[in-house]
Structure 1
């Protein structure tokens, strides 16, 4: 988990700290220290992250991945009122076209983590040789249940694979070489979707800094750095070229790039400024005095008003509506989805769609110690929601929800 994400987690969960008892005072410090040592990879926290919420508002993220969702209409509908406490139907009943349950253990495959979609029916899985250190990637057919190895991944000690993106028949990822927890250089790799050896994307000069988001754009790889800046490089190797006007920007959802990025430790508005890297179109989101935790997408923003009520609205400030009580403050996945916590009892979360007003119960409940997994769809590009539930993984493809 990146230091930036930890800051967002602390501020977000602090906002809801009245919902749980206090954790040990040194827990978040321990997590931050371990994270700096274990990995420097902002893009590692992508798509729907399952956040293990410890008592008192400390969290640990276990990330997923996603790819290339379709833009959503900015129409909005009223949210449920704060007095409503009903538990909605399970997500698989509300959106059967978008939800699968797959075994948490697959024959001949180590413990895996879902990382994204290779295509509309194929899930990308990552297995580990040790904590968070990938040793292979697999393709899982959601229709047939068949699994096949794509390739092995080998990285030096202290270097981790992250940021998977798919396009042009390739699966692409990055590795970040760090010294004392600080990113030094980022390298890019690919393997055929059909399976085969890993190939390095040779660059004419080293890419300085830590990569965050990747996108396959035709025959080129587009990437942004955690320090800011958007660049492209041919998938077959060559010169790294900066995207005009995107200095200090981050990839939001290609071709949209913006600043500040997803992680705003000083409380800035996330992606307030947007640039279309292909057309040059720009957008600046409206933000009002006293608003906090404002996180913006391509068409929508969400956050907390000065009176501590939560809202979502179009980027131009129009069509503002209230969010459900206890909503996530990580923003709206695909400009329409977020999670909200159910009151205790029973606890748990629902997935909520601001476009249709529908919600579905994720099935998560606190254990005897009051600990639970909290799902955050808006971390990353937000197409994949994946979380363990009993002996299964629940897989939700947000792009399939109409």
Structure 2
């Protein structure tokens, strides 16, 4: 666990992506909200920063935003889109892992541009689309092709893909597929779960919000165990190295009015390492505290982080009732006067992040 600056030397905001080693963190430096301008490496051992590459957009394309980055053995890859228009268009960029000048590999349109995950091999960019299916394009450029036998598959981390994508809410995962060998690993899903997700070897799940118990097992159903007091954070449970991330319940009972009693000394989240069986808390469950973030890499990230100085505050203003309460049922009178309108929003922070680097965790199995 390390403290790193939340801004680059020139004041651009950092967005953590993933770890490259036990001390090196890959960060996106943003000139404005989600507008990446370059990739940097921050070394937690020395405190040094290195610019890895600029992240330019193609000339003449308005509203362009760099999307997910992924790290391969020899290259980094990312894709970009124009999310604020109706065009189905995307492009792909690569840069050597050692750094240098980024190069656009190619552009795609239509279904091929509905990118949900990206990766890179020694000779190709690979990606899956929201409707299922995995494509590849040579790093030298050329015509993209759909990889045979990938109908309904979604890239997890090359070469592995799953039959459940990020939009398949409530769908049970049944297999993992190695796209290099086309080896299929059947997934045995326990009954009674509302959330279930697999990494490369281990799977996690939980029941409804009242169950307050998570489960972990290998994909074939072996080494099944329960983790009381934890629940899945939506469907995005698995981090790098198949480490699971969970919500920790702070409710310890109810008072005489039936209101929940919370213990805010419990951690904000819990991390579980299935190899060693270690469970660790991270952050703090402060009712006025901020949330946590995870790195934005396409493959499961090896970074989680939070801003300890950020707080959540409620701010209220008086607004016109006819504006705040619209739309109104047909035939009902239009309300008049003003009413109090309240919203919660983050406040403070922005100076440094606390970062957990999963690649720095020793494993012994």
Aligned residues: CA RMSD: 2.9
- SS of residue matched to 1:187: strand
Q: Which has the higher helix share?
A: 1
Residue 297 (structure 1) aligns with: 199
Residue 228, structure 1, aligned to residue 132, structure 2: yes
Residue 272 (structure 1) aligns with: 174
Deviation at 1:203, TM superposition (A): 5.5
Residue 64 (structure 2) aligns with: 159
Instruction: Give the aligned length.
Output: 299
Residue 142 (structure 1) aligns with: 44
Q: How does 1:64-143 map to 2 (within 5 A)?
A: 99-143=1-45
Query: How high is the TM-score relative to the length of structure 2?
Result: 0.72
Residue 192 and residue 255 in structure 1: after superposition, are their counterparts in 2 closer, same or farther (change >3 A)?
closer
CA distance in 1 between partners of 2:3 and 2:84 (Å): 40
Greater Cα radius of gyration, structure 1 or 2: 2
CA distance in 1 between partners of 2:75 and 2:359 (Å): 21
Residue 201 (structure 1) aligns with: 105
Q: Which 5+ residue runs of structure 2 have no aligned equivalent?
A: 251-262, 310-350
Q: What are the Cα deviations for residues 159-180 of structure 1, in whole angstroms up to 9, with x where unaligned?
A: 3111212336433210123465
Q: Which 5+ residue runs of structure 1 have no aligned equivalent?
A: 1-98
Query: How high is the TM-score relative to the length of structure 1?
Result: 0.66
Residue 171, structure 1, aligned to residue 76, structure 2: yes
Q: What are the Cα deviations for residues 254-278 of structure 1, in whole angstroms up to 9, with x where unaligned?
A: 211121223323x112x42221111
Residue 129 and residue 197 in structure 1: after superposition, are their counterparts in 2 closer, same or farther (change >3 A)?
same
Q: How does 1:174-185 map to 2 (within 5 A)?
A: 174-178=79-83, 180=85, 184-185=88-89
Residue 325 (structure 1) aligns with: 229
Q: Which has the higher strand share?
A: 2
CA distance in 1 between partners of 2:222 and 2:182 (Å): 23
The higher-RCO structure (CA 8 Å, 6+ apart) is 1
Q: Is the 8 A contact 2:292 2:305 kept in 1?
A: no
Deviation at 1:357, TM superposition (A): 3.0
Residue 241, structure 1, aligned to residue 241, structure 2: no
CA distance in 2 between partners of 1:288 and 1:122 (Å): 38
- SS of residue matched to 2:231: coil
Residue 281, structure 1, aligned to residue 183, structure 2: yes
CA distance in 2 between partners of 1:253 and 1:191 (Å): 19
